[in-house]
């Protein structure tokens, strides 16, 4: 079963980590409809799209719940799918017309156990980004939810590709063009921090820590005048924080 979501502002970075931690990430809304304004704190219960026994507008009228999380998107063959897609498209449009909205949830226990999530199925970040953007435009939504559970928690390649894909989506959504943010898992020719730890050069600061980036073990950053090296995959973990995700390499 999915755990309660961690909701962060639209256009913020994805948060991936412990089982069931979900993330809301801003995406480009369809031009036909202005994006619904989401509250800073929102109750958006999960709806199992495979059951199709819920009418969103009825729940909104009866209980006052205007926001929902529709679960779960499968990514088999690097092609997204959602149960009863056409029916949910109609329901989403009706809810949005009444001032409500949904986020679309990717992953979940079964998908993540089977390895059929987009991060595991797509061969590149750009291929996954195209699939995620297709979900956004198909359902005319501005919020996405990623439920990371089971085997996906420990698949660093999957997590890194997902983070890279979402970097590309955020870049395009923010109007900065097609150039994504620095990748958390750089290629050999990349100018991003290397995932292989290397000695810190005295007096030389690594790139500044960025809370909008995911990092993998070995990435180097600078923060508060010191260089730091990640000792595990992390996102929004402040160097020197209580979770101990970074090793202090000394002043730079």
Task: Identify whether 10 is part of a domain.
Answer: no
Average pLDDT (33-56) is 85
Phi and psi at residue 147, in whole multiples of 5°? -100, 105
Domain total of the chain: 2
Tell me the pLDDT tens digit for each residue of 57-89: 999 999 999 999 999 999 999 999 999 999 999
**Strands, sheet with 226-230, edge to edge from the N-terminal-most edge strand:** 220-223, 226-230, 246-251
Task: Identify whether 4 is part of a domain.
Answer: no
Tell me the pLDDT tens digit for each residue of 122-136: 999 999 999 999 999
pLDDT of residue 101: 96
In 3D, which of 14, 22, 27 has the Cα closest to residue 134?
Answer: 27
Task: Identify whether 15 is part of a domain.
Answer: no
Residue 7: pLDDT above 60? no
Average pLDDT (138-161) is 91
Q: What is the CA radius of gyration of the chain?
A: 19
115 and 74 inside one domain: yes
Give dist(CA 162, CA 139) in Å, integer. Answer: 20
pLDDT of residue 215: 76
190 and 142 inside one domain: no
Q: Which residue has the tokens 């995932």?
A: 195
158 and 215 inside one domain: no
DSSP annotation of 217: T
Task: Identify whether 11 is part of a domain.
Answer: no
pLDDT of residue 218: 82
Q: First and final CA of the chain: distance in angstroms?
A: 45
| Last residue in a domain, options 133, 149, 173 | 173
pLDDT of residue 203: 60
How many CB atoms within 10 Å of residue 90? 9
Average pLDDT (129-156) is 92
What CATH number is associated with residue 103?
Answer: 3.20.20.80
pLDDT of residue 41: 87
The answer to whether residues 239 and 250 touch, using CB atoms and an 8 Å cutoff, is: no
| Last residue in a domain, options 146, 173, 200 | 173
Tell me the pLDDT tens digit for each residue of 17-44: 223 333 444 444 444 456 678 888 889 9
Task: Identify whether 5 is part of a domain.
Answer: no
159 and 225 inside one domain: no
pLDDT of residue 190: 37
Tell me what the pLDDT averaged over the chain comes to: 78
| Residues in CB range of 91: below 8 A, 6 or more apart | 55, 56, 57
Query: In the structure encoding, which two tokens stand for residue 19, read together?
Result: 């089982």
pLDDT of residue 199: 42
190 and 167 inside one domain: no
Q: Which is more confident, 208 or 184?
A: 208
H or E element, residue 119 = helix 118-121
Residue 218 is part of which domain span?
182-252
149 and 211 inside one domain: no
52 and 122 inside one domain: yes
Task: Identify whether 12 is part of a domain.
Answer: no
Task: Identify whether 239 is part of a domain.
Answer: yes
Residue 176: pLDDT above 60? no
């Amino acid at each position: 079963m999915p755990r309660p979501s961690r909701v962060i502002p639209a256009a913020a970075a994805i948060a991936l980590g412990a089982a069931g931690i979900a993330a809301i990430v801003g995406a480009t809304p369809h031009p036909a409809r202005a994006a619904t304004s989401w509250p800073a704190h929102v109750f958006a219960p999960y709806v199992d799209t495979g059951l199709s026994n819920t009418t969103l507008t009825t729940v909104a009228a009866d209980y006052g719940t205007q926001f929902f999380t529709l679960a779960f998107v499968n990514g088999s063959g690097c092609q997204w799918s959602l149960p009863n897609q056409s029916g949910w498209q109609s329901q989403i449009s009706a809810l949005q017309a009444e001032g409500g909205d949904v986020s679309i949830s990717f992953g979940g226990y079964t998908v993540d156990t089977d390895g059929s999530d987009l991060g595991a199925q797509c061969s590149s970040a750009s291929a996954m980004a195209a699939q995620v953007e297709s979900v956004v435009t198909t359902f005319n939504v501005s919020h996405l939810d990623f439920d990371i559970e089971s085997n996906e928690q420990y698949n660093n390649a999957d997590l890194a590709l997902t983070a890279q894909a979402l970097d590309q989506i955020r870049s395009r959504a923010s109007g900065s063009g097609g150039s994504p943010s620095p990748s958390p898992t750089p290629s050999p020719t990349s100018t991003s921090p290397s995932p292989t730890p290397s000695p810190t050069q005295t007096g030389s600061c690594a790139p500044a820590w960025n809370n909008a980036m995911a990092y993998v073990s070995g990435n180097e950053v600078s923060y508060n005048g010191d260089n730091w090296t990640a000792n595990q995959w992390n996102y929004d973990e402040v160097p020197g924080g209580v979770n101990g995700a970074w090793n202090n390499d000394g002043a730079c």
